[in-house]
Amino acid sequence: MKRNKQEQHKKTIGKVILTPSILILLIFPLVACGIFYTTAHQYATREAKDRLMELREAVLPEMENVFQADSTEEPRVLVGRFVRQVAPITRRMEGDTRLMIFAAENRVVYPRDEEERAYVKPVSDAFSAYIAAYENEAALSDNAYDQTSSETIRIKAENNEEFLASIYPSPITSLQIRYIITYCPVAEMDAWIRTASLLVLFISLVSAIVLIGLLRSTARTMTGQFEALAMEAERIGNGDFSPIEKTFDIEEASTVEKAMNCMAEALRVTRESEQKFYQNVSHDLRTPLMSIGGYAQGIETGVMKDPVQAAHIISEESARLTRYVSDLLTLSRLESGEKFHLEKVDLADVIEESFEHMNGLALHHGVELKIDMPSHEWIVEADPQQLVRILDNLLSNAVRYAHSRVLLQVEERRRESTETEEAHGSWMEERLRSENRGIDLRVLDDGDGISEHDLPHIFERRL
């Protein structure tokens, strides 16, 4: 039940890739629009402030020139001259930057045109109310002058039109000129920012939709190729080890395909090796079984004239079958990863036991068995049964193919070497090494050695 729930909660490649990507792409237009709106608003406001500052810096020198301390002209004449001089400066300013000049009691002396004054009356009333509020709180004192001159305010008129304005107390002590106000309407600026932000939002949404489509297509391509690989893996699992013929465009999928082909080839070779091994096992087991059955039937029917000899052959074939079965069990233990039972053993005892096993075979083949082993104790850590089996296999192989002599040498290792077979004149050597104890066991015989044709197959499984 738990496994089924885990299977249900597994995520596909498409979901892993598409879900977060779609969420990011859907959020991206809103984030992009918000960033653009904020950046554009800050940029437009800064540009407007710079223009207001530029107009102010152009007007103040004219005020200083007109309202000189040693001037004897009437204040009204000076105000008129100043207003006439700043009018062309205002008209030369870029954009919609405007100028307003307040006299005493917040009376507008610029613009001079009555119609224009009536047009700007809502904003002049808003400026007047703002100034009055600060005057009532003594905000426009000497200390407040610097603060006001460095800030730009946003004011809404009675007609709901908004303006960006900078209000400066007049630096000239005069009752005729009290405040110089540079301002500009922000309606067009705000409308442009909103329109541009909506355009950015639209373009971002379209881009996100296109990218989502591309991601879906890419994810579908990836999942399709991996589904094809899964089907190929299932085919290999069912015993079809033929190479994968389909080509894959994605590099990772192609890498998996190559690895699966290597695995399929290894499995094919393993299966062929196992089939060959089973055939050999069947043949090796069938021969003694047929011999045992034949001699047993002969004894039963009285055909055998020498039942004792027949019983002896049956006993030998039974021992042969026992060795085969023991070898099969050992092979099964090795392939299952079962660990050996290591213990400290005297190597001399192991060699003596193995020689006892091989003496009969050596007499049968007319081969002389000898041992070359220094006369001191050789203690090794090993599985004694498996060590005896290894020595039996090596010695029996040497006895069968030797001409007259087989020699087992035991010596401490004097050099690093990993050869399994070396030629020493007419002697052929098979070496068994105990790496952790530094002991070499060499089985040498005077036979013809292993042919080059058989060398690649000496480590294949067989009984």
Q: Is the pLDDT of residue 423 over 60?
A: no
Average pLDDT (181-188) is 89
Average pLDDT (45-68) is 85
When pLDDT is cut at 50, 70 and 90, the band that residue 31 belongs to is: very high
Q: Is the pLDDT of residue 433 over 60?
A: no
Judged by average pLDDT, the poorest of 82-91, 384-393, 422-431 is 422-431
More confident residue, 310 or 141: 310
Look at the domain 343-457 and name its fold.
Answer: Heat Shock Protein 90 (3.30.565)
- Most confident stretch, 72-76, 85-89, 262-266: 262-266
* Residue keyed to tokens 């223009």: 51
Chain centroid to CA 236 = 28
More confident residue, 95 or 7: 95
Q: Is the pLDDT of residue 399 over 90?
A: no
Look at the domain 251-335 and name its fold.
Answer: Helix Hairpins (1.10.287)
When pLDDT is cut at 50, 70 and 90, the band that residue 120 belongs to is: confident
% residues pLDDT > 90 (the chain): 8
pLDDT score at 460: 65
Computed on alpha carbons and rounded to an integer, the radius of gyration of the chain in Å comes to 53
pLDDT score at 138: 53
Q: Is the pLDDT of residue 155 over 80?
A: yes
Could you tell me which of 191, 184, 194, 133 has the C-alpha nearest to residue 162? Answer: 184
Judged by average pLDDT, the poorest of 68-72, 392-396, 442-446 is 68-72
Average pLDDT (179-183) is 89
pLDDT score at 422: 46
Average pLDDT (193-197) is 93
- Residues constituting the chain: 463
Average pLDDT (182-194) is 90
Average pLDDT (162-189) is 83
How is the chain split into domains, by residue range?
A: 13-194, 251-335, 343-457
Residue 101 near residue 183, CB atoms below 8 Å: no
% residues pLDDT > 70 (the chain): 84
3-state secondary structure of 245: coil
Angstrom distance (rounded) from CA 49 to CA 166: 8
Instruction: State pLDDT tens for residues 206-256.
Output: 998 998 888 888 888 888 888 888 888 888 888 888 888 888 888 888 888
Angstrom distance (rounded) from CA 306 to CA 412: 52
SS (H, E, C) 422-463: EEECCEEEEEEEECCCCEEEEEEECCCCCCCCCHHHCCCCCC
State the first-to-last Cα distance of the chain, in angstroms, to the nearest integer: 46
pLDDT score at 436: 47
Residue 248 near residue 257, CB atoms below 8 Å: yes
For 13-194, CATH gives 3.30.450
pLDDT score at 324: 74
Q: Is the pLDDT of residue 259 over 60?
A: yes
Angstrom distance (rounded) from CA 374 to CA 231: 63
pLDDT score at 463: 53
pLDDT score at 310: 77
Q: Is the pLDDT of residue 435 over 60?
A: no
Can you read off the two tokens belonging to residue 40? 């554009």
Average pLDDT (338-367) is 81
Average pLDDT (436-454) is 78
Q: Tell which phi-psi region holds residue 154, choosing left (phi > 0), alpha (psi between -120 and 50) or beta.
A: beta
Kindly report the average pLDDT of the chain as a whole number. Answer: 79
More confident residue, 303 or 107: 107
